[in-house]
């Protein structure tokens, strides 16, 4: 697996998304980190970010995991029970109990595949256990934050 040396980070509360790319031999997946659709309040299953994944190069790609890094003031147990879901509300990942320091790696279901040049938008959800004053500023830092594997046809 080779990496794409493209990393653009920004505050997820602004309209400028964070972008990154990961690739295999012939194809790649680009990821855009987008802000949530509204304020992240105290409570269960809050949308804390969105991730847009796009297959490039025409081959099917399995997205193994996405790692997000928080540069805001929320940390530790401020956020719990992370998972990814489709825009239709279907969970497509494991539930991760807590951040590891200020990062969270969210493995996706083995069935989550980007077909060819497909784009899928995912919601990042978590239980927020702190006040709205504790900020979130998510980043994708490097290409290894999006783990991909080419789907081999047998």
Task: For residue 147, list its beta bridge partners.
Answer: 65
Confidence at residue 90, expressed as pLDDT on a 0 to 100 scale: 97
Residue 22: pLDDT band (50, 70, 90) is low
Confidence at residue 20, expressed as pLDDT on a 0 to 100 scale: 53
Half-sphere exposure of 28 (CA within 13 A, CB side): 13
Share of the chain above pLDDT 90, in %: 64
Q: What is the dihedral of CA 128, 130, 131, 135, to 10 degrees?
A: -80
pLDDT tens-digit readout, 31-69: 999 999 998 999 999 999 999 999 988 889 999 999 999
Q: What is the mean pLDDT of residues 73-102?
A: 94
Cα distances (Å, whole numbers) of residue 105 to 15, 70, 120, 145, 146: 24, 12, 19, 8, 9
Q: How is residue 8 written in tokens? A: 């653009």
């Amino acid at each position: 697996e080779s990496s794409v040396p493209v990393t653009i980070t920004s505050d997820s509360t602004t309209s400028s998304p964070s972008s990154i790319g990961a690739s295999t031999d012939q194809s790649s997946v680009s990821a855009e980190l987008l802000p949530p659709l509204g304020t992240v309040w105290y409570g269960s299953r809050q949308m804390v970010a969105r991730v847009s994944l796009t297959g490039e190069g025409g081959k099917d790609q399995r997205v193994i995991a996405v790692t997000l890094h928080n540069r805001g003031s929320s940390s530790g147990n401020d956020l719990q029970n992370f998972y990814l879901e489709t825009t239709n509300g279907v969970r497509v990942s494991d539930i991760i109990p807590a951040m590891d320091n200020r990062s969270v790696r969210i493995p996706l279901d083995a069935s989550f595949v980007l077909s060819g040049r497909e784009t899928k938008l995912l919601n990042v959800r978590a239980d927020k256990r702190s006040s709205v004053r504790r900020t979130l500023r998510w980043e994708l830092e490097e290409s290894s934050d999006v783990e991909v594997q080419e789907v081999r046809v047998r």
